[in-house]
Chains A and B, each alone.
Chain A
């Protein structure tokens, strides 16, 4: 075959790459079709069903009314929306406050243990999220290890942890802090350390150097971390279920209730759309912020 083509050496590469591309195009088809059928179209169904209603015999029926969204516009649901936002933002703040120092310490002072430390950091996050939340719920329960310890230390009644907002936010922070640490760590690793030296010469004092050199240099990492923590935190329901109670329920708990207890799928779909809309708004702000950060650096 190669011999036959020898006469037209100039056209050979283009011809080959044309069939080549067609071949690769066929390879793209199955995964693309799969994603379209199972992901894209199922999201479309959620949106469509949110305009539907529960028909005879409890079956969900498509429709075109805003009834479900109107039903969400009352104080019970609005309280939960606001609470979810507050918890998610608080989780992001906690993850930044905890994750930044850890990433900083490992990246700049980890020395030859750096890779081992990152591995030690990553591995627990692959232990089931459910099991880890369950572990905290047993640890923090009224008869749990922490309260037993507090009682032997002389605190007679112990402290009530479970069913408090603090416990839910702490659970979310514990669950997602890795998504903050890894991007910040990566951006600290990319950073030119001589900048810090220069900063020390220029500004004197580690604090001013940190604020005016290190912090801006790791902005992309922080923004990435904020996104990766905020998205799952806003949609979580396991932490509020196991560490909280009805008083700390988030939007995820409401969604779960509509599908498993309330059996009102259209209302549950509307709740899911509200969640997706909130995340989409957040994404827009995020993309703007990263673009600005890129322009400035």
Chain B
């Protein structure tokens, strides 16, 4: 939670004890370094394999024949998969906007309002972060069917917003905690209305956090399987749900092509969310924001 302070600590240590640091490197870590390398190797192995075999000209998943776009052609000619892809992009966009609006409201309000009700809301808003997705999924499914709401992309969007508000709130609150409210107070003393102070001071200060959390929510919702699986209707289904039913039937290399595209989307988004806060000239990057959550 206190991750934003981490960067400051590191630089302090770097400056103060370069010599000691080097000595500890010589100490014992050869085996630890080897272990870490092995870990990274295993971490990337399945991803590399999916990408590699998405370009395989044969159907095999164990022998690479030669390069081909065959599975990508199959993916882009599959109407069902394409409509699922569009559905997923739509869900993620709408859920991102919804979660950003509600999450930012929550973060701003919790920063200003004291007292028990506000604290209770703050605590409840953290619960989805530690609730296994299957519980959230079951709850959302029963909620919608109980009210007689037909399951569709709309129900997926509603459930995804609920699940994403907490991420936005945590990240934005982290940013708000890092800047003091005094600048805003000063703006008010200089004659700004509450709305002007918000527009001219508060929103620009939290903008990096808004961008980072928006990208994060988009990626999380785009990839989310469990929640979508529980509350989606029949047609069109979000891409991960569609993939799941395909995997259960057969193993087809076309799935590798879909998977590669999906991973590309999330990697680009997460990469951006790491880089964008830096463009605002802040020393700590989006990583601290993310690992803080």
Q: Is A206 touching B28 in the complex (CB atoms < 8 A)?
A: yes
B225 / chain A contacts, CB cutoff of 8 Å: 128-130, 238
What's the Cα separation between A138 and B53 when bound, in Å? 11
Asked if A190 is at the interface (CB within 8 A of a chain B CB), the reply is yes
Contact B27 A31, beta carbon cutoff 8 Å:
no
**Contacts A105-B32, A115-B285, A255-B138; A124 near B43 (Cβ below 8 A):** yes
* Chain B, Cβ-Cβ closest to A120: B40
Stretch in B89-97, B124-132, B203-211 with 4+ CB within 8 Å of A = B124-132
Given contacts A102-B36, A144-B61, are A131 and B263 in contact (CB under 8 A)? yes
- Complex Cα spacing A200 to B3, Å: 28
Contacting residues, chain A, for B165 (C-beta < 8 A): 31, 34-35
**Smallest CB separation, B95 vs chain A (Å):** 12
Which range holds the interface residue count of chain B? Answer: 35 or more
Q: Is A168 an interface residue (CB 8 A)?
A: no
Q: Is the Cβ of B17 less than 8 Å from the Cβ of A122?
A: no
Measured between alpha carbons, how far is A213 from B111 in the docked complex, in Å?
A: 37
Contacting residues, chain A, for B106 (C-beta < 8 A): 28, 31-32
Q: Which of B17, B223, B262, B270 contacts A123 (CB 8 A)?
A: B270
| Given known A-B contacts A139-B49, A194-B20, A106 and B36 have beta carbons under 8 A apart | yes
Give the interface segment out of A42-50, A72-80, A289-297: A42-50
Residue of B nearest to A43 (CB): B139
- Nearest to B113 among chain A residues (CB) is A24
B10 / chain A contacts, CB cutoff of 8 Å: 114, 189
Q: Within the complex, what minimum Cβ distance (angstroms) separates A259 from chain B?
A: 7
Q: Which residues of A contact B47 (CB under 8 A)?
A: 124, 127, 132, 135
A115 CB to closest chain B CB (Å) equals 7
Looking at A104, A115, A186, A197, the one whose CB has the most chain B CB atoms below 10 A away is: A186
Residues of A within 8 A of B159 (CB): 38
Residue numbers in A under 8 Å from B5 (CB-CB):
190
Chain B residues near A193: list those with CB within 8 A: 13, 17, 20-21, 24
In the complex, chain B residues whose CB is within 8 Å of the CB of A228: 130
Find residues 39-80 in chain B having any chain A CB closer than 8 Å to their own CB.
Answer: 39-40, 42-47, 49-50, 53, 61-63
| Interface members, chain B 186-242 (any A CB < 8 Å) | 188, 191, 194, 219-220, 223, 225-226, 230, 240
List, in ascending order, chain A residues with CB within 8 A of B112's CB: 20-21, 24
Judge whether B134 is part of the interface by a CB distance below 8 angstroms.
yes
In the complex, the answer to whether B50 meets A131 with C-beta atoms within 8 Å is yes
Q: Bound complex: CA of A139 vs CA of B44, how far in Å?
A: 13
Give min CB distance, B73 to chain A, whole Å. Answer: 20
Are B110 and A124 within 8 A (Cβ)?
A: no
Find residues 136-168 in chain A having any chain B CB closer than 8 Å to their own CB: 136-139, 141, 143-145, 147-148
- A235 and B267 in contact (CB under 8 A), knowing A21-B112, A111-B25, A186-B6? no
Can you list 24 A-B pairs, Cβ within 8 angstroms, ordered by A?
A: A24-B109, A27-B105, A35-B162, A35-B165, A39-B139, A42-B140, A43-B135, A111-B21, A111-B25, A119-B287, A123-B270, A126-B219, A128-B225, A130-B240, A131-B262, A135-B49, A137-B247, A139-B46, A143-B61, A186-B2, A197-B20, A236-B132, A275-B135, A276-B135
